[in-house]
Amino acid sequence: MLGRTAHSLFWMFRYLERAENTARLLEAALRMALTRDLVTAEAEWRSVIATLGLQRAYEALHDGYDGVSVWNFVLRGPSNPGNVRQMFGAVRSNARTARINISGDVWEAVNENWMKLDALLVRPVGQMAVGEVLTAIRRAGTQVHGAFDGSMLRDEGYHFSRAGTFIERADSTARILDMKYFLLLPSLSYVGSSLDTGQWEQVLRSVAGARVYSWLNAGQIEARGIVEFVVLDDRFPRSLAFCRNALRDNLAALARMHGVEGRSNVLMRDADTRISHLCVDQIFEAGLHEFLIDFLNRNAAIAQAVAQDYRFHT
Amino acid sequence: MRGSMSAGSSNFDEMFDGSGQTRPAYDEYCRWYNEQPAEFLKRKNREADDSFRRTGITFNVYGEDAAEERLIPFDMVPRIITANEWRKVSRGIEQRVRALNSFLYDLYHRQEIVRAGRLPERLLRKNDAWLANMVGFTPPGGIYTHIVGIDLVRTGPDEFFVLEDNARTPSGVSYMLENRETMMGMFPDLFSRIAVESVSNYPRRLARSLAACVPPAFTGGKPTVAVLTPGIYNSAYFEHAFLADQMGAELVEGSDLRVVGGRVQMRTTLGYKPIDVLYRRVDDDYLDPLTFNPDSALGVPGIMDVYRAGGITIANAPGTGVADDKAIYSFMPEIVEFYTGEKPLLPNVQTWRCADKDSLAYVLDNLAELVVKEVHGSGGYGMLIGPTSSKREIAAFREKLVAKPDNYIAQPTLALSTCPIYTAKGLAPRHLDLRPFVLVSPDGIDITPGGLTRVALKKGSLVVNSSQGGGTKDTWVLKD
């Protein structure tokens, strides 16, 4: 496979994942804003922009944080180069570039969803439409992944695509946790207060884990449990541990197919030994924030090594 | 639908004769058509568009927003050719393509045709597509035009004319294939009632044809074939990806390629890998910044040196565009005779070369009746269609013509045949042409039975180019 094609597959799935995660983040914020007072709501919208690293671009345009401004900026703001509409444009142009290495089913799922989303996002998204738009974005991801799972040859292209998915997903989960890490630090004064459980639930919602967490824990919401679930539970497909395991398998498969191990495999092993025997108390002891920053840096370094190992660029 | 059509019109209609009777080729189709409920046809017509959009069979329009993609309108009424008609046409095409290839070899070697006084030397000197680097060089297998598209028009039952030769990089073959797929998906019962020659193995035939032209440096095993595309913003990108996909070839861009160890190699995830045959969909000018346009980012620096040293096959060979020139076209009857020793089976359209004084005088006197084209023009641009132009347009064109007569040829306005298209108000006749696709390899000349039928969608229009609002039809060659 061409290095450029591998690059396109990797980024096609990173952007797809990013669009989906962004939609989840907005959905969680939307729910929070609807059930809380104005001050909490504004803080919530502010934290969405902060999680996405868009403060400067956003504040250049707006004086305050309100739902309509935030979701329009994130979904389709022309001055936001990383808006969801453009992410989906990037998914499609990468899919076009890699057209001969994806199945017809995957291409059609991408193309149809792109047509639909582009039409939905061409005009400002109002209060009444935002729910539909966010659902459509999530559904686009689901459909592409479904077509991908059912029709793709398990060759190197498959593994580059999956590597892109899990690197992006891990990045997103870690960022969401880090934005709220102070809420999750065990602190006696906060435990049990209703605002707090609401905020914690918010974290779970952003990573699509609220329902399953609550089911596993009989409805008991507490910081330690959430961190254990989102970081270490390798049954939960958006946890850091799950993404790590999946990425490790994809990189191992690539090394096997190419008959040679690269820097990405070495970095992966390093990162693995850091996380595989950790328990949640150790994470809190060393500092949740520090742990997450270290995780994010290693994740980014692995992504860079993959690009180098497999000649994504000249 | 009988009688509702072209009765009374002076054009030859492919479906109906002058009295409104269905021609034999369309008998069974028309029977089927009349059995279909109007609602069903209406719904199918809508579905066709959706299906093209969904599968992304689009083209980009030059000069517009890079992201702008359009569909080429598809008309669901097929254009039908009988086995007998096809036999005649394909014999003529084979003769013409054979002559084209010999002509190109001669031009870049001894130029016997010029020495024999059958072709003026100035036509070569003045030809922008002429490549000095090709002089004295013989491409692998002696093949210049691996893929040719011959544009035909019809004016009567037995009257097919060649309107244009596309020896450079003919496009449109993906529409021939996708139009058939779409028709079979929409109307499977039609194909069980009517025996139509298959076109679906074109990509296999293309792959085989290209693989038969390996360069001297080929080391054995399975030849590595790649399609070179300018990228996803090129108007024909869909076709490039489609052909690479169907042939099992790599789809490469200039940035993937590099000359390493005397071969053109592509950057794979495992390192550089040599390419044996490059089916390039990039113009000569952009192929090699070291030899041609130094600003080109679409090509491969040094590829021409590798080519001349036998390290790679380039299809079509650089410099074949010479034959697409419309002044050269006007000599095709002589060219066919010179190289094959036979009279041309397919006639040219009568052509006045405005470079000749007498011809120019005639053309200027008759502008309102003629079609005047630029010698190097393509895509239906830069031409004058006398009968459909205003006085002012004709006057403006006259000035251009007088200023640079060498740059133009003129042809009579042909009574192009029509074939009905489906419209909201029922069938309506529209003008059309036909581009069959021809593959040339050392193993012979291979013509896929069918081709791309382009159809003007506006009533009375003679311009069928997709860039100017033309559509396409599925083209059927009936089995005997």
Q: Which two tokens stand for residue B423?
A: 């419209």
Phi, psi (rounded to 5 degrees) for A82: -105, 35
Identify the band that residue B86 occupies on the pLDDT scale cut at 50, 70 and 90. very high
Q: Give the number of other CB atoms < 10 A from CB of residue B407.
A: 19
Tokens 């036998």: give the residue: B310
Interface of B with A in 56-75 (CB under 8 A): 56, 67
Helices (DSSP H) in B171-236: which residue ranges?
A: 173-186, 188-193, 202-211
CB < 8 Å from B in window 45-84 of A = none
pLDDT per position as a tens digit, B127-152: 888 999 999 999 999 999 999 999 99
The C-alpha of B178 sits at a distance from chain A's nearest C-alpha, in angstroms, of 14
Half-sphere exposure of A88 (CA within 13 A, CB side): 31
Neighbours of A272 (CB within 10 A): 15
Residue A217 pLDDT: 86
Residues of chain A with pLDDT under 70: 183-196
Give the ipTM.
0.87
Comparing CB atoms, the residue among A3, A99, A311 nearest residue B241 is A99
Place of tokens 């130029």: B111
Encode burial over B443-465: b for 16+ CB neighbours within 10 A, e otherwise.
eebbbbbbbbbbbbbeeebbbbe
Question: Which of left, alpha, beta for B469 (phi over 0: left; psi -120 to 50: alpha)?
Answer: left
State whether A2 and B54 contact (CB < 8 Å).
Answer: no
Binary contact (B253, A4; C-beta < 8 A): yes
* Per-residue confidence (pLDDT) for residue A179, from 0 to 100: 86
Mean pLDDT of B303-314: 97
- Residue A286's pLDDT is what? 87
What residues of A are in contact with residue B251 (Cβ under 8 Å)?
5, 99-100
According to DSSP, residue A2 is labeled B
**Contact (CB<8Å) A314/B255:** yes
- CB within 8 A of B40, min separation 6: which ones? none
Length of chain B counted residue by residue? 480
Residues forming a β-bridge with B265 = B258, B274
Contact status of A103 with chain B (Cβ, < 8 Å) = no
Q: Does B267 touch chain A (CB under 8 A)?
A: yes
Residue A49's CB is within 10 A of a number of other CB atoms, namely: 22
Give the least confident one: A194-203, A268-277, B187-196, B231-240: A194-203
Q: What is the pLDDT of residue B68?
A: 64
Of B54, B253, B269, the CB nearest to A6: B269
Q: Report cis status (omega within 30 of 0) of the bond before B366.
A: no
**Are the CB atoms for B74 and B48 separated by under 8 Å?**
yes
Q: Does B268 contact A at CB distance below 8 Å?
A: yes
Write the pLDDT tens digit of every residue in B414-443: 889 999 999 988 999 999 999 999 999 999
- Which residue of B lies nearest to A114 if distances are taken between CA atoms? B54
Q: Which residues of A touch B54 (CB under 8 A)?
A: 108, 111-112, 115
DSSP state of B199: -
What is the per-residue pLDDT across B315-349, written as a single tens digit (0 to 9) for each?
999 999 999 988 899 999 999 999 999 999 999 99
**Which structure tokens are listed for B37?**
């409920």
How does residue B1 score in pLDDT terms, banded at 50, 70 and 90?
very low
Count CB pairs under 8 A between chains A and B. 58
| Strand arrangement, sheet containing B408-412 | B352-353, B408-412, B370-374, B384-385
- Of A2, A115, A258, which has the smallest distance from its Cβ to B256's Cβ? A2
Contact B241 A100 (CB under 8 A): yes
Average pLDDT, chain B: 91
Position B63 pLDDT exceeds 70? no
What's the burial of B158, exposed, middle or buried (CB within 10 Å: 0-12/13-18/19+)? exposed
Position B408 pLDDT exceeds 60: yes
**Residue among A82, A85, A104 at smallest CA distance from A168:** A82
Query: Is the pLDDT reported for residue B61 higher than 80?
Result: no
Q: Which residue of A has its CA nearest to B245?
A: A100
- Evaluate if residue B2 carries a pLDDT over 60: no
How much is the pLDDT for B423? 93
Question: Which of B232, B252, B255 is nearest residue A96 as measured by Cβ atoms?
Answer: B232
| pTM, full prediction | 0.90
Q: Which residue of B has its CA nearest to A157?
A: B269
CB nearest to A100's CB, from B54, B245, B266: B245
The answer to whether B323 and B332 are in contact (CB under 8 A) is: no
Distance of CA B142 to the CA centre of its chain: 22
Give the closest of A2, A99, A112 to B250, CB-based: A2
**pLDDT confidence of residue A196:** 63
- Selected residues 434-453 of chain B with any CB under 8 Å from a CB in chain A: none
Burial class (CB in 10 A: 0-12, 13-18, 19+), A74: buried
Residues of B in contact with A305 (CB under 8 A): none
Q: Do A96 and B245 touch (CB under 8 A)?
A: no
At B274, list the tokens.
Answer: 């040599």
Query: CB of A67 within 8 A of CB of A124?
Result: no
Nearest to A53 by CA among A74, A33, A68: A74
pLDDT given at position B64: 44
Q: What is the Cα–Cα distance from B81 to A308, expressed in whole angstroms?
A: 55
Rounded CA-CA distance B215/A171 in Å is: 48
3-state helix, strand, coil in chain A (%, to 5): 75, 0, 25
